[in-house]
């Protein structure tokens, strides 16, 4: 074998000598057909969608961490046990920060530039890219507050971009969504290239338009503690223009047949597996015999001793915050199977947005109707709708006093949006569900944000100084006056 390799190397050197003696060099010899210098929009778009779904929205560094703080899950060992006890440092968010700016937002920028060029003008590509830019900025600012944007993505032209205020970022989010809607409404003949490579909606621009209205509703509602009733009325108006069933759910789909394209929580559990479902969530599901219990959690893998009682294997049992019960219920198939989709926004969330807004405005009858519609949508989304159970639960909703309705809506939303970062935003905005801090944590206060990335702190002097306790600094919209 070695002789054959050496002979081939000798022939290759001889060939180089012949080519050199002829003074001829192919100018394309160093260009790989597998690494084109210009990537077309239909290849950039799936990259943008994958990065948005996997490394930002469904990220283990983001969703897993806040799921422990919001008590959907509990860290039981190593990294997760530490982070679940509210120890999360600047270096821990470097990968996510880089993935958002150097990865997803840069992909979106490249699509927009190509879609605006005369030779490749394609408003549908541009519209989708702007909608995803808005989504990314929303996730970024909700966890970091002020972030670079107006001076970001300029490369060597500006390596130390300014940090824009969260208030201005929210204005940009709404502007980008408005632009995305307008661009996606352009006729097909206005596009040199038709929307292709779209994993989320398969190139259906009408679905993108409705998803953009859903996002507008979400981000209008986030400002309720700043804008008061105006935020609720805006959210209701925008939600009314969004999709009307689970058919519009904004999902990024994975494959059950390949770990190269699998759900991020599934991969985390395969690789490390150091989280279990939290008792706060499991107890809430069991209290109402909720049919989603087996969707969100797996049965226990062995007997669990609790005081003098034994919880037999095959039961559903959550690990309380700070208690490393290794054989407690692991994440279930609805959120942790290989092909469980990343959920960017759903019909259930839209109905909860309407329910909260109507309750805040004193429209208690419509709020109850929205509450029921949201619950039904969640059950149907996970394939566990039970008419008898739902009818009984709906009757209970009708009996909730008006003064307690907001608490009930937000607590049910927290259940329905299990392992979704939106629950962390909701808890900060409203104070619901009512949670007690992890008793094993040194600081008996649940964090309210992430620290800035260490790379930004080190290399960009414009990075805000959050002081000694960055996790407890409030973002701009979290001004401490939740509506209850």
**What ranges do the domains of the chain cover?**
37-200+438-476
Show the CA angle centred on residue 26, arms to residues 22 and 30, nearest 5°: 130
Q: Treating both helix axes as pointing N-terminal to C-terminal, what angle do 347-360 and 205-221 enclose, rounded to 10 degrees?
A: 40
Mean pLDDT of 91-108: 96
Q: Please say whether the beta carbons of 52 and 252 come within 8 A.
A: yes
Whole-angstrom Cα distance, residue 49 to residue 344?
11
Q: What is the pLDDT of residue 481?
A: 55
E strands, 104-171, in order: 147-148, 163-164
Whole-angstrom Cα distance, residue 201 to residue 180?
15
Query: Would you identify the CATH topology of the domain 37-200+438-476?
Result: 1.25.40
Mean pLDDT of 310-315: 93
The three-state secondary structure class of 137 is helix
pLDDT at 121 > cutoff 50: yes
The three-state secondary structure class of 73 is strand
Q: What is the pLDDT of residue 14?
A: 33
pTM value is 0.91
Q: Per the omega criterion (within 30 degrees of 0), is the bond before 433 cis?
A: yes
CB atoms < 10 A from the CB of 322, how many? 16
**Nearest CA among 343, 429, 384 for reference residue 393:** 384
Q: What is the pLDDT of residue 38?
A: 76
Whole-angstrom Cα distance, residue 317 to residue 312?
10
Inter-CA distances, 354 with 209, 243, 348, 373, 477, Å? 19, 13, 10, 10, 20
Q: What is the pLDDT of residue 25?
A: 42
**What's the chain's average pLDDT?**
91
Whole-angstrom Cα distance, residue 127 to residue 185?
9
The tens digit of pLDDT for each residue in 248-296 reads 999 999 987 777 789 999 999 999 999 999 999 999 999 999 999 999 9
The tens digit of pLDDT for each residue in 380-431 reads 999 999 999 999 999 999 999 999 999 999 999 999 999 999 999 999 999 9
**Nearest CA among 239, 240, 42 for reference residue 124:** 42
pLDDT at 328 > cutoff 60: yes
pLDDT at 482 > cutoff 90: no
pLDDT at 82 > cutoff 70: yes
Whole-angstrom Cα distance, residue 338 to residue 336?
6
Q: pLDDT tier at 27 (50, 70, 90 boundaries)? A: very low
Q: How many CA atoms lie within 13 A of 363 on its CB side?
A: 15
End-to-end CA distance of the chain: 76
Listing DSSP states for 296-354 in one string gives HBPPPSS-EEETTEEE-TTS--PBPTT---TTSPPB-HHHHSTTPPEEEE-HHHHHHHH
DSSP category for residue 278: B
Indicate the Cα dihedral angle 277, 278, 283, 288, nearest 10°: -50
Map tokens 């960009």 to a residue: 460
């Amino acid at each position: 074998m070695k002789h054959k390799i050496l002979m081939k190397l000798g022939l290759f050197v001889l060939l180089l000598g012949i080519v050199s003696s002829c003074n001829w060099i192919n100018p394309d010899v160093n260009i790989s057909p597998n690494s084109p210098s210009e990537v077309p929009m239909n290849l950039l778009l799936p990259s943008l969608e994958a990065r948005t779904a996997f490394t930002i929205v469904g990220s283990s560094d983001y969703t897993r961490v806040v799921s422990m703080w919001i008590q959907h899950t509990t860290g039981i060992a190593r990294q997760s046990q530490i982070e679940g006890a509210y120890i999360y440092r600047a270096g821990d968010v470097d990968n996510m920060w880089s993935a958002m700016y150097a990865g997803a937002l840069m992909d979106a920028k490249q699509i927009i530039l190509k879609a605006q060029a005369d030779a490749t003008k394609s408003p549908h590509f541009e519209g989708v890219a702007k909608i995803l830019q808005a989504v990314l900025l929303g996730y970024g600012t909700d966890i970091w507050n002020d972030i670079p944007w107006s001076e970001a993505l300029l490369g060597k032209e500006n390596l130390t971009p300014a940090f824009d205020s969260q208030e201005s970022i929210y204005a940009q989010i709404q502007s980008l969504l408005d632009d995305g809607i307008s661009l996606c409404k352009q006729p097909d003949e206005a596009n040199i290239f038709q929307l292709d490579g779209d994993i989320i909606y398969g190139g259906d621009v009408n679905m993108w338009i409705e998803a953009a209205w859903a996002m507008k509703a979400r981000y209008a509602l986030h400002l309720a503690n700043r804008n008061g009733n105006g935020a609720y009325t805006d959210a209701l108006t925008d939600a009314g223009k969004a999709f009307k069933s689970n058919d519009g759910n904004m999902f990024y789909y994975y494959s059950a047949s390949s770990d190269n394209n699998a759900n991020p929580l599934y991969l985390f559990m395969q690789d490390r597996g150091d989280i279990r479902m939290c008792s706060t969530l499991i107890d809430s599901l069991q209290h109402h015999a909720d049919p989603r219990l087996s969707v969100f959690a797996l049965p226990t893998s062995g007997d669990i001793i609790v005081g003098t009682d034994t919880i037999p294997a095959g039961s559903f049992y959550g690990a309380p915050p700070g208690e490393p019960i290794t054989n407690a219920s692991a994440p279930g198939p609805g959120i942790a199977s290989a092909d469980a989709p990343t959920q960017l926004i759903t019909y259930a969330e839209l109905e909860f947005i309407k329910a909260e807004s109507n309750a805040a405005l004193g429209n208690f009858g419509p709020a109850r109707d929205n509450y029921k519609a949201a619950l039904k949508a969640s059950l149907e989304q996970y394939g566990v709708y039970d008419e008898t159970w739902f009818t009984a639960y709906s009757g209970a909703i009708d009996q909730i006093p008006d003064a307690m309705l907001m608490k009930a809506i937000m607590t049910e939303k927290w259940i329905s949006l299990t392992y979704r970062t939106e629950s962390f935003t909701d808890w900060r905005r409203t104070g619901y569900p009512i949670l007690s801090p992890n008793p094993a944590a040194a600081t008996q206060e649940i964090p309210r944000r992430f620290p800035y990335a260490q790379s930004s702190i080190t290399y960009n002097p414009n990075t805000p100084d959050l002081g000694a306790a960055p996790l407890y600094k409030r973002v701009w919209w979290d001004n401490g006056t939740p509506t209850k």
